[in-house]
Each structure stands twice: as C-alpha cells, then as structure tokens.
C-alpha cells in the first residue's frame, strides 16, 4: 500500500541575497505579499494537501520565523478586549500546534540538496513533500494537493514542472522526458542548470516535490554539483538511474510566481492584491492609471462614486 504524504520539508536556510539589503536582518520568507509573509502561503498550501508535520530547515538569523508561528498572547488579549474578532481569527490561523512543527538547522548553506538532507531523521522511512516558499502558486486547487492526488495514482517521486522559454532553461532543473502522458510525464533524466542550448526539454522543475526516502540515501553521499552546491536534482537523477520509472514530472494547474526574484515578487504582489475582494476596487484604478490602460466600466463607476 502507498504511504500517505503527511510530512513536508521547507528549506529556508538560504541567504536571500537577491533581496539585500532587506534580507540583512529579515528572513526572505517573512517578506510580505499583500499582508501575509511568503512562508504563510507555503504552510497554507501544505495544510490543504493534508500535511500534518511541518519541518523547517533554518539557519542563523531566521528566528523571526520561529516567533511567527508561536501564539501571541498579549496581541490576542488586546484584540479580544477590543472585540476585533476578524483580526483575532486571522492571527490564530498563524499558530502552529506544538509538536507538529520542527526546526532543524543547516549550519552552512551547502545547497538545496543538503538542506533537505538535514531533515532526514525527522523524515525516516516515509514519502515527504518539499516546498520552496519562494515559489508562490496561485491555483484553484492548491498545487501540492494536486500533486498528492497524482501521487496516490503514480507513487514514486513527483516533481512540479512547467514549460519555460529555451533561453530561461539554464536557471532551472530540467527534465529529460521518457513518456509524455499529459499532466504526468515519466522522466528518464534530469539536469540542473543546463548550459544554454543543451537542455533536454523545456520542462523545468519548480519548488514543489514529493520524494521517496531513497532520495535521502542518495543525498547521504553529499556529492557536490553545479555551482559547488549539493544539488537535490543530482540525488533525483541518481534515483532515476537506479530505479527506472520512479520519477514523474507533474504539470500543475495554476500560475507560479518566482518570489525569489524582485520582478516575480512584484508580479505576485499585484496579482494577489487584484484577486482580493477587499482591495481590488481601490487598487485596480491605481494600477490601470499607472500603465495607461482602460479600467473596466463597473470599476470606474465605483471609483467615481
């Protein structure tokens, strides 16, 4: 019988240099899209997919994240006293039950593969999800939930994938496809950051994975790959070679924002704000005016009233 996926690893030990100077003292994962930090989107997506144990791989300077998931008794008491029940409910959604959340330390940023490996003892002999909070995915059905459902059919390892332009492929791990079955593709190889023009397909892997414990065993070897880092991609490629038919790409339904980059973060901010009923009417006229576009008539009428 296939084991259910109930554990998720959130590697958040990176330095976040693309957001300096902000990330000099604020973890990247606390940066805020509209009114919620990046990490909250990732945790909500995991909860929706049935994840029960949340493992954060952290590093020096990330303690704000640990505080974020604690209860905040003084704040809660103040909101209760002022009868701000909506805000109180919003605040309580951020609390994580003790024992369901664990922090392991990556004491040196040796790469994503190494960060995942740091969680090996908490994962044990079970399939597990990996979520990179930098990748925010707007979707009707949360991306990891789609993957968990696909995993119930395929088993093995599933990697969220999307088509990218050929000139962008060298920024990603890229799949070598054996059989394209539509939303699921079986994979015969995987290359991290292929040199321009050498990518085996235009299917890039983004920050959602469901992995088998075998991947941890490959990571035990601590092989150093592209960029001098211990790459998760290399461990997955080793598994493909060792166990044919055990790795699948999954074309998720939804839109992925690369919030590890400034442009992606700004796009996500605009898209998520425009999707919010409480902000849309106020924000859309501003955005439309900035780009010189036409506002929808209904919005124009509301803005004028």
Q: Which of residues 111-170 bind ligand UTP (CB under 6 A)?
A: 111-112, 114-115, 132-134
Please report how close the Cβ of residue 113 comes to ligand UTP at its closest, in angstroms: 9
Measured CA to CA, the distance from residue 25 to residue 23 in angstroms comes to: 5
Buried b (16+ CB within 10 A) or exposed e, 181-208: eeebbbbbbbbbbbeeeebbbbbbbbbb
Cis preceding-peptide flag for 282 (omega within 30 of 0): no
* Count of residues that bind ligand UTP according to CB under 6 A: 21
Minimum distance, C-beta of residue 297 to ligand UTP, in the bound complex (Å)? 42
Decide: 175 and 190 in contact? Cβ < 8 Å. Answer: yes
Contact 41, 32 (CB under 8 A): no
CB 209 within 8 A of CB 160: yes
Q: What is the CA radius of gyration of the chain?
A: 20
Binder of ligand UTP out of 68, 194, 260, 273 (CB under 6 A): 260
Find the shortest distance in angstroms from Cβ 18 to ligand UTP: 3
Among 30, 33, 106, 218, binds ligand UTP (CB under 6 A): 106
3 state SS of 167: helix
Residue 23 or 238: the one with the smaller Cβ distance to ligand UTP is 23
In terms of CB distance, is 46 or 273 closer to ligand UTP? Answer: 46
Interface pattern 51-90 for ligand UTP (x via CB under 6 A): ------x---------------------------------
Residue 104 host element (H or E): strand 101-105
What are the b/e assignments for 109-128, b being 16+ CB within 10 Å? ebbbbbbbbbbbeebeeebb
Q: Which long-range contacts (CB under 8 A, 24 or more apart) does 293-300 make?
A: none
Q: Which residue in 5, 8, 9, 11 binds ligand UTP (CB under 6 A)?
A: 11
Residue with Cβ nearer ligand UTP (128 or 186): 128
Q: Considering beta carbons, is residue 115 or 143 the nearer one to ligand UTP?
A: 115
Q: What is the closest distance, in whole angstroms, from the C-beta atom of residue 33 to ligand UTP in the complex?
A: 15
| 295 interacts with ligand UTP by CB under 6 A | no
Q: From the CB of 94, what's the least distance to ligand UTP, in Å?
A: 19
Show the binding pattern over residues 169-208: x = contacts ligand UTP (CB under 6 A), - = does not. Answer: ----------------------------------------
Kindly tell me which of 28 and 151 has the beta carbon lying closer to ligand UTP: 28
Classify residue 270 as exposed, middle or buried by CB count within 10 Å of its CB (0-12, 13-18, 19+). middle
Torsion angle (degrees, nearest 10) of CA 8, 154, 203, 146: -50
Question: With binding defined as CB under 6 A, does residue 46 bind ligand UTP?
Answer: no
Residue with the closest Cβ to ligand UTP? Answer: 14
SS3 19: helix
Provide, rounded to whole angstroms, the least separation between the CB of residue 211 and ligand UTP. Answer: 14
Q: Are 91 and 72 in contact (CB under 8 A)?
A: yes
| Contacts to ligand UTP by CB under 6 A | 11-18, 28, 57, 106, 109-112, 114-115, 132-134, 260
């Amino acid at each position: 019988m296939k084991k259910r996926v109930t554990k998720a690893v959130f590697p958040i030990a990176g330095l976040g240099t693309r957001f300096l100077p902000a990330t000099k003292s604020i973890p990247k994962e606390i940066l805020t899209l509209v009114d919620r930090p990046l990490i909250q989107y990732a945790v909500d997506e995991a909860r929706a997919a049935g994840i029960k144990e949340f493992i954060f791989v952290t590093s020096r300077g990330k303690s704000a994240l640990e505080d974020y998931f604690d209860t905040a008794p003084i704040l809660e008491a103040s909101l209760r006293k002022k009868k701000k029940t909506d805000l109180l409910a919003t605040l309580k959604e951020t609390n994580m039950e003790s024992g369901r959340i664990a922090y392991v330390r990556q004491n040196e940023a040796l790469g994503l593969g190494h960060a995942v490996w740091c969680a090996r003892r908490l994962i044990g002999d079970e399939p597990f999800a990996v979520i990179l909070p930098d990748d925010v995915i707007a979707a009707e059905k949360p991306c990891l939930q789609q993957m968990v459902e696909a995993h119930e059919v395929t088993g093995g390892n599933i990697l969220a994938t999307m088509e990218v332009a050929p000139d962008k492929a060298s920024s990603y791990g890229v799949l070598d496809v054996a059989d394209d079955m539509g939303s699921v593709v079986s994979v015969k190889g995987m290359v991290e950051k292929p040199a321009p023009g050498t990518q085996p397909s235009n299917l890039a892997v983004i920050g959602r994975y469901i992995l088998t414990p075998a991947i941890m065993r490959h990571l035990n070897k601590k092989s150093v790959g592209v960029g001098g880092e211990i790459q998760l991609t290399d461990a997955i490629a080793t598994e493909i070679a060792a166990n044919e038919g055990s790795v699948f790409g999954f074309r998720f339904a939804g839109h992925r924002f690369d919030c590890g980059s400034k442009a992606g973060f700004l796009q996500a901010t605009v898209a998520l704000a425009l999707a919010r009923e409480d902000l849309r009417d106020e924000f859309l006229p501003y955005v439309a005016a900035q780009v010189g576009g036409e506002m929808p008539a209904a919005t124009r009428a509301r803005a004028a009233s």
